[in-house]
Amino acid sequence: MSDRTAGPTAANRQAFVGKARLVTLPTRAGEPVLASSMPEPGPHIKVVGAISPERMEFVGKGRPAGAHLTLFEATGRVISDLSLGIEVLSRARARAMGRAMPHPRKAQPDLRAATPVRTA
């Protein structure tokens, strides 16, 4: 696996996902950034982003026998992302988990360029 990631380095990825129950992996990596042996038993891993044959974000080899995980590859299925989000939110609310976030407020977009554009 490559050390070139926007998130955790190769050395600390295992610690980063170790006890996580849900791992969402959005990336366009050309090499896997997560292996099935990294998280402890029991997580659900959702991978998105590898939409062509030369891209890969997850490798499932090397998982010890009896170490359970579920994997969902959500390439190009927006409705499934929405459905999963609704279910996760529903379960979290039923268990009084998480924290409330304020509803986003509408804001007028700032369409000005950061620096003036000069024309010839």
What pLDDT does residue 85 have? 84
| Partners of residue 48 on adjacent β-strands | 26
**Highest averaged pLDDT of the listed ranges 4-13, 20-29, 47-56:** 20-29
The single residue listed with the structure tokens 């929405």 is: 82
Contacts of residue 37, Cβ cutoff 8 Å, sequence gap at least 6: 62, 63, 64
Confidence of residue 91 (pLDDT cuts 50, 70, 90): very high
Of the candidates 61, 16, 21, the one whose C-alpha atom is nearest the C-alpha of residue 5 is 16
Cβ contacts of residue 99 below 8 Å, gap of 6+?
A: none
User: What's the pTM?
Assistant: 0.49
Higher pLDDT, 50 or 97: 97
